[in-house]
Structure 1
Amino acid sequence: MPFEAINPPQFPTPIAPFSAGTKAGNTVYVSGTLALGEGGVVLHPGDATAQTRHVLEVIKTTLEAAGATLADVAFNHIFLKDWADYTAMNAVYAEYFPGAKPARYCIQCGLVKPDCLVEIASVAHIG
């Protein structure tokens, strides 16, 4: 099945060869999203709350560009640099997913930039 690349024009140029998201049929895949600005500059260093909020806003915008919403998200992949940020990430996450919660996993791992604390990738199903 062919897919459509989703790259909202207001986003900075990716730091690697990928699309912000792809849409295949009624499914939208959002790439792993970090709190990055233009040129790959890390936004909100040291602040997991602000980074999580930024990441979820980028995911929301990517979904909207594909015709989906956060309510369509069925699964999230969450990566944390440090378990110490788990509570802060969850507090923001709960604001963005107030109703039925998507399935998810959360792991601790190294992220592509040392100052990145949170990365989230999403899968949404429209309809």
Structure 2
Amino acid sequence: MPKQAIIPPGSGVPLAPFVPGTLADGVVYVSGTLPFDKENNVVHVGDAAAQTRHVLEIIKSVIETAGGTMDDVTFNSIFITDWANYAAVNQVYAGYFPGDKPARFCIQCGLVKPDALIEIATIAHIGTP
């Protein structure tokens, strides 16, 4: 099974040895995505809704670079640092998935940078591009 690295134009250099996404057999695996700018600085500090929007826009760019759309998303793994942000995250999240919702889970945990409030990893089935 050949695989292809998916790196949207303008992507920054990751903090660790990974790529933003991998395409294999019509499935896009999007790495855990944090609310980082191209220099790996946290954006929208203290604003869970804005961080969620930023993360989902990065995920969208990875999926679109691979030839898919957000409608192709089948699963999301969501990591938040505080349950107090759960409603804000869900409000933004619902806007990106207005139709049939993907399966998902959400857990509270610590993230790689203290100002990051959310991280999302995604799987999308785009078929053969």
CA deviation vs aligned residue, 1:44-65 (integer Å, no higher than 9, x gap)? 0100000000000000000000
Matches within 5 A, 1:95-114: 95-114=95-114
What count of residue pairs does the alignment treat as equivalent? Answer: 127
- Structure 1's consecutive aligned runs of 4 or more residues displaced over 2 angstroms after TM superposition are none
Unaligned runs of 5+ residues in structure 2 are none
Task: Provide the TM-score with structure 2 as the length reference.
Answer: 0.96
Matches within 5 A, 1:46-57: 46-57=46-57
Task: Provide the TM-score with structure 1 as the length reference.
Answer: 0.97
SS of the residue aligned with 1:39?
A: coil
Aligned-pair CA distance for 1:11: 1.4
Aligned-pair CA distance for 1:38: 2.5
SS of the residue aligned with 1:84?
A: helix
CA RMSD of aligned residues (A): 0.7
Identity level (%): 63
Code of the residue aligned with 1:112 in structure 2: it is V
Please state if 1:59 is matched with 2:59.
yes
Partner of 1:85: 85
